[in-house]
Amino acid sequence: MKTNHTAAKSEIAMARRPVLVVGIGGPTASGKTSLAKILAEKYREMGVCLMDQDSYYLDRGHLTSKQREAVNYDEPYAIDHNLFRSHLESLLIGQVVEKPVYDFVTHTRTRRFQMLRPQGLIILEGIHCFWDGRARALMGLKVYVDADPDLRFIRRLQRDMGERGRSTESVIAQYVNTVRPMQKRYVEPFKDRADLVVKTTESLGRAAGELIHAVAEHFSVRFPRSKMLVA
């Protein structure tokens, strides 16, 4: 049985362990998820924890189906930032967390969870990844992913119809009414605060290469004695 003293020592040890938190934000369908997965696979053997912000949408189970459809899911207030930040803080002190599983078809959280364990590399990914200043302050590297607007719209259309059961009309209406204006208001201003800006319009591979190089370089500067990350 773990005593309070042992648990405290474990938290202190985790706090001293080299940990790099990489935040990956940017507009819809810019390639954030793809880059996060590539980065996670690159350092899989080292140990990676991937927190996708899409899992942290607020539960709308108390609303009727019609009311759920009227919710603006593209503003930052649609995200449970308190839980997102709390889970990040817990991971940083060595605690395991239960990431919720969100159902985009019903706009509700399921009863299932995904266990996230603390690792040397923690990747945060989502449109409003940089919106909460308290979570942003914990990021060692902030990466803004961008792509040409027309390409992003095509990607989103394909994704929402293929993976989230949406119709062409509903995707277009949401993009015009909430996605585009919310991005201009809440997402694009953080581009100037990013440590690195990459574009996926021409090549996802090139953007991934820039990201991997930046992560390895940033980690070596912050933790020069660590050999956990290599380019």
CB 43 within 8 A of CB 127: no
User: CA–CA separation, 7 vs 107, rounded Å?
Assistant: 37
The pLDDT mean for the chain works out to 89
Q: DSSP letters along 65-82, please?
A: HHHHHTS-TTSGGGB-HH
Distances (CA, A) of 53 to 13, 83, 208: 27, 10, 20
Q: What is the pLDDT of residue 4?
A: 47
Put simply, whether the predicted model's pTM sits higher than 0.85 gets the answer yes
User: Which pLDDT value is given to residue 224?
Assistant: 66
- Tell me the per-residue pLDDT of 39-83, one tens digit each, with 9 for 90 and over: 999 999 889 999 999 999 999 999 999 999 899 999 999 999 999
Question: Which helix H or strand E contains 102, and what residues bound it?
Answer: strand 97-103
Q: Domains (ranges, CATH) in the chain?
A: 4-218 (3.40.50.300)
Q: What pLDDT sits at residue 46?
A: 86
The order of strands in the sheet holding 121-125 is 48-52, 121-125, 20-25, 141-146, 196-199
Q: Which DSSP helix (H) or strand (E) runs through 157?
A: helix 149-163
Residues 135-184 have pLDDT tens digits of 999 999 999 999 999 999 999 999 999 888 889 999 999 999 999 999 99
Tens digits of residue pLDDT in 6-18: 444 444 344 556 8
In whole angstroms, what is the distance from residue 49 CA to residue 55 CA? 14
